[in-house]
Structures are given as C-alpha cells and as structure tokens.
A and B are shown apart, each in its own frame.
Chain A
Amino acid sequence: MALINVAAREIHCKIVYYGPGMSGKTSNLQYIHSQVPKEAKGELLSIATETERTLFFDFLPLDLGKVRGFQTRFHLYTVPGQVLYERTRVAVLSGADGVVFVADSQKHKLEENIRSLRELAVNITRQNKRFQDFPVVLQYNKRDVPGALPVATLDKYLNTLGWQRFEATATSGAGVFDTLKAISKLVISKL
C-alpha cells in the first residue's frame, strides 16, 4: 500500500523483485544502482550470505524528486529466491505496491519459474489482494545464455495473465530500465 504523507508532501511506493534463485533479481538492483544519478538514489543495502546469495533482501531507495510538489520515492526490494526462504519472501512482500517477476530464460529453470510464480500468486492472495488486479511486470532474464527458451514458450507457461513483459540481460543492463519504467508507471496508475 503506497503511503502519501500530505504534511511532508511525500509519496512512497514499494516494488519487490520476485523470482526463483539465481534468476538475476539482485543484478537488476545492482545495475539500477550503478546507473541512476547520485542525487536520486540511496545506498544499496544487501543482507546476503557469505557467498553473496540474498539472505533476507536487497533494498534500494530511489528518489524521483518533486512531482507536482510531492517528493516521490520508490523503494525497490528483492526477495531471497532459494526455496528454503519461502517465509522470508512473505515477509519482504508485506505491503508491496507492485512486483517485477524475474524469470530465468534457461530451459532447465522453467519449472522453477512456474513454481515461484504460483507461490507469488498465493502470497499476494494471502495479503487479501486480488492477484489478477495486482501490478506485475514480467522480465525474461538471461536472454544472452545459449539455448535460452524462445519468448513464445516462456509466454505460454508464465504469461497466461497477459502482463507486460520484457527481455533482459540484467548483468549488462539490457531491459533493466524498461522493466523498471513499466512497473513504476503501473504502480502509479493504481495509486
């Protein structure tokens, strides 16, 4: 639920990057952090294991500056993707205004993508939100990997609800900002 503070003239929105382990959620945030102008971003905070796997979440606050007199902030989070952290993902999703689902395009990851997406639907529904109406943007990541599944195949299994979807290679940045723009606009349209 977005928060609008009329006294301080501030609007805050929370966007969560969701998806299976190693699909590139943290890479998305790292790329955004590396590209956004200094005055528009805070520190990228990562709670990770010693092997750089996300343990709790990554957090990146973005400040869009004043829009019609309102200071507007997007808070980006990632969830830990590993199966073990299912309850942690529920905690990070709390109060989210929109989700980017980062799918891994590799063939052997398709089942994990499907499982993760179903879990997302269950978790959003448990927050008393209707999943079909909830702002979601789909990102097919790792398009640069040889043997990546065709987009049509990924669409068939993952995009049955007809979300906006983007091809991406998060490590090089391709598609990262297209995804961010789409989810930001979608969240704003539902405020």
Chain B
Amino acid sequence: MQRAFSGAHRAESRMDPQLTSQIVPAEEIKVIEECLVRLAEDTGGNYVLLLDKSGQVITAQGDAARQDITALGALIAGTFASSREVAKLLREKDFRQLFTQGVRENIFISLIEDQWILCIIFNKGTHIGLVKVLTKKATDDLSVVLERVREQQKARDDVLGSSFRTSMEDTIDLLFRD
C-alpha cells in the first residue's frame, strides 16, 4: 500500500504562506456597528449580523433577546459554504446572495469579498426588495472596511505577545482535562 504522501507532495512549496489572523480594530468595529444599525433601522429588520466565512460572529445588532448567536453564525456560514460548492458544480463562480423564507421571519444573506457574510433577519413587515437594495449598499460600505482590516497588521503584536501565548497554554492545560 502507498503512503499518504510521497516525497513529491512534501517538496511542494510554491503556495501562499499560511494566512495570518484577521484582526478587527476597535475603530473599525465601531464603523461596522454603525453600518449594521443603519441597515436594521432603514429596512425595519429585526436582527443584523456580520460573520467571518469561518462562521465566527464579528458583531451583531438588533433584538437583544435573540439566543444562540454562536450556533446561528456556524449554521449560516455552513449554508453559505455549502452553496459555494453547489455553485461550483453548476459552474457558477459563486452565489453572492441567499434568501430563506420562513413563516414568521426571513433571512437574507450577502457575501462581502469572499471573506465576510452579512446577514439580515426580518419579518413580514419588511419588503424583500428594500432589503436587497439596502444590503447592497451596506455590502459596498463593508467591503471598504474589510479592505482596511486586511491592510493593517500593526495591532497584531499588541495582542499576541509571547506572554499571551504562555497564558493561553496554561489556560488550555487547566481547562482541557478529563
């Protein structure tokens, strides 16, 4: 039987290096929050959230009583990633938007530059046409923010010093045990 990887695979090294962490500075979070609040207010939507494509919630605005935002983020990002694979099978580049219609609430999801996912939850009182138009505008605004986030790396060293990593290892040892 052949081994999982031959020498040829190990020698392969022309890919981009490992992507680094994405750090969203406080001032950019503020800009994002303003954008989400505006979108919720202008559409009458109940809840707006911005996710990373890995399913992590960057920030959310609206109905404070909403539970399980973490699981919601994981599922929405999973749905989007799944739709991207469907797009490939259909030889589409990707599906930029998804609309899910419920009995009480609807969800409209829009992709921002292949990295972030903007999601708005709204009820029957809001027209989908309005949501589409205003989400497009919000998506454009957030692309500019994303561009700035990608460019800045300065804050990284402030957060991830060596003492941070040591503390993290101690915490992992303490928590992850039988």
Q: Interface on A for B, CB 8 Å cutoff?
A: 1-8, 11-12, 14, 32, 35-37, 40, 42-43, 45, 56-57, 59, 61-62, 64-65, 67-68, 70, 72-73, 75, 77, 87-88, 90-92, 94-97, 110-111, 113-114, 117-118, 121, 125, 128-134, 156-158, 160-161, 173, 176-177, 180-181, 184-185, 188-191
Contact = CB atoms under 8 A, between A and B. Distances in A.
A94 B53 contact: yes
A190 B160 CA distance: 10
B65 interface: no
Given A45-B74, A67-B168, A191-B21, A87 B176 contact: no
Nearest to B17: A130
Contact of A114 (B4, B52, B68, B175): B4
B173 interface: yes
A130 B85 contact: no
The 10 closest A-B pairs by CB, nearest first: A95-B54, A91-B81, A7-B29, A7-B26, A12-B56, A87-B85, A2-B21, A4-B23, A117-B4, A94-B81
11 contacts: A3-B58, A35-B178, A61-B70, A67-B171, A95-B53, A95-B56, A132-B13, A133-B18, A161-B5, A185-B172, A191-B21
Given A3-B21, A130-B17, A133-B18, A92 B78 contact: yes
A14 B3 contact: no
B100 interface: no
Nearest to A57: B78
Interface of B: 1-5, 9-10, 12-13, 15-26, 29-30, 52-56, 58-59, 68, 70-71, 74-75, 77-78, 81-82, 84-85, 88-89, 155-156, 159-160, 163-165, 167-169, 171-173, 175-178
Contacts of B175: 36-37, 40, 62, 64-65
Contact of B3 (A11, A94, A133, A156): A156
Contacts of B21: 1-4, 191
Nearest to A94: B81
A10 B74 CA distance: 17
Nearest to B70: A61
A26 B152 CA distance: 38
A4 B78 contact: no
